[in-house]
Amino acid sequence: MIITRFAPSPTGLLHVGNLRTALFNYLIAKQNDGKFILRLDDTDPERSKQKYIDAIRFDLEWLGLYWDQEEQQSNRIGRYSEVAEQLRKEKKLYECFESPVDLDLKRKKLLNMGKPPVYDRAALKLSEDKKVLIRKKESPYWRFLLSHERIEWEDQILGEISIDSASISDPVLIRADGQFLYTLASVIDDMDMKITNVVRGSDHVTNTATQIQITQALGGDLPKYSHHSLLTGPSGESLSKRLGTLSLKDLRLAGIEPMAILSHLSRLGSSKPGELFSSLEEIREGFDISSFGAAPTKFEKQDLFPITSKYISGLSFSEVKDRIIETPGSELLWEVVRQNLIVLEDFEYWMNLTENGVSPLVEEEDRGYVNDALSLLPKSKLNEQSWDQWTKEIKSQSDRKGKQLFLPLRKALTGKENGPDMSRLLPLLKKIPAKV
């Protein structure tokens, strides 16, 4: 069975970049009748917050990305200790004592000499007597002893990867305060939860190299790895600085529809054309992880609005009625304006317009014309022919035609330059001013 996981750290709100990872993992599991696990990587007790766990669940449910199982790393500390002990016994985990300042100095020295800043394994050379002495003052932190060889895997997106492990520092797996780090916890979880496919951002490629060796040291089976490219801003800049405004919460508050984001992210950066889908099932059918490229992928929030608008225009009244304030006229109004909404909230504008009217938008030079036109409005109950009759009458009495004739009327009656077919809207207007 295919088993995937989405493993956010609950240290902030999910953003579009996280969603890309979640969606890919979800789709791969569901395409194969597999299992999709939500794993909360919360080994950092200071930065992990319950409010973010709640927000992650809320966002995923909002998008319809339901998970089959939920796991939390903070519940598994006992298991991590057990495995760490095993690695210690096998001498694959070694204690170190350098302070962050010492490490920084070492790094700078190597960089100055034009060498890669790889940890020098000085701690391995300490004698037992020396360690006994240092332990009296310092608690050790623990590194995994990489075996120096090439680490290779066939990445489902990046293709053949080959990394010389001598170019990587032995990863720290346990901090001096005893906190297990993600690099170890994730390997143990992936093994215990029988994860078959790990899909995550390309910022994890080096982690993967070390995690492959850790998995092998523990005798585990390796999953298939896919590292998708990272999203960037329109001119290629990293999204991280703008992520605050690209959280799923922000997109939701801006009126973006889940299906618009899901459709967009299921194709952005792939060789397949963008498309608006109507369901996750449909997205899943056309999804192929190998169609995604390795190059950074440009993401522009504004692109989500036309897709949202298109999605909304395709919704029937019964699909939206629970999300709007329903009134006796709202069904008819929905049919008239649904092609003219960018986000669903825009419907309120038209509801309010039909019920209460708006402050007219009138250019000074059009005022006389608009007032003359209003005096010609048919006195009988308005219907879908009224607009045509009315504008014909105006045309016969003024020298205006085309846009000059129609646009000032639309602006005066709707307060906007664009909008739905006036013949259909006019009979729904309950308040039309006699004069502007």
- Contacting positions for ligand GLU (CB under 6 A): 7-9, 41, 182, 186, 200, 204
Structure tokens at 290: 């190998």
Residue nearer to ligand GLU on the CB measure, 8 or 408 = 8
- Taking the least distance from each CB to ligand GLU, the nearer of 37 and 262 is 37
Which residue blocks in 98-202 are alpha helix, DSSP H?
100-112, 128-137, 182-192
Q: Strands 224-228 and 197-201: what pairing? A: parallel
Angle at 60 between CA 56 and CA 64, to 5 degrees: 165
Those residues whose C-beta lies under 8 Å from the C-beta of residue 130, and which sit 6 or more positions away, are: none
Give 20 or 143: the residue with its C-beta nearer to ligand GLU. Answer: 20
Cβ atoms of 304 and 261 within 8 Å: the answer is yes
- Nearest distance from residue 224's CB to ligand GLU, in Å? 13
Instruction: Name 71's bridge partners.
Output: 39
Write down the least CB distance from residue 41 to ligand GLU, Å. 4
E-assigned strands of 241-317? 297-298
* Between 4 and 330, CB nearer to ligand GLU: 4
User: C-beta of 242: minimal distance to ligand GLU in Å?
Assistant: 18
Q: Smallest Cα–Cα separation from 217: which of 344, 369, 54, 94? A: 94
Q: Which is nearer to ligand GLU, 9 or 240 (CB)?
A: 9
Beta-carbon contacts of residue 172 (< 8 Å; ≥ 6 apart): 96, 141, 142, 143, 181, 183
Closer residue to ligand GLU, CB minimum distance, 41 or 95: 41
Report which secondary-structure segment, H or E, holds 225.
Answer: strand 224-228
Dig out the tokens for 428 from the structure: 């729904």
Q: Give the tokens for residue 104.
A: 């920084």
Q: Is 332 exposed, middle or buried (0-12, 13-18, 19+ CB in 10 A)?
A: middle
- In angstroms, give the least distance from the CB of 207 to ligand GLU: 7
Q: How far is the CB of 418 from ligand GLU (least distance, A)?
A: 43
Looking at the Cβ atoms of 9 and 398, the one nearer to ligand GLU is: 9
Cβ proximity of 255 and 345 under 8 Å:
yes
Q: How far is the CB of 37 from ligand GLU (least distance, A)?
A: 11
**CB nearer ligand GLU, residue 207 or residue 308:** 207
Q: Is 393 helix (H, G, I), strand (E, B) or coil?
A: helix
- Shortest CB 291 distance to ligand GLU, Å: 21
Q: Is 305 helix (H, G, I), strand (E, B) or coil?
A: helix
Q: Residue 11 CB, nearest distance to ligand GLU (Å)?
A: 9
Rounded to an integer, what distance in angstroms lies between the CA atom of residue 64 and that of residue 26? 10
Q: What is the nearest approach in angstroms of ligand GLU to the Cβ of residue 6?
A: 7
Query: With respect to ligand GLU, which residue has the nearer C-beta, 41 or 59?
Result: 41
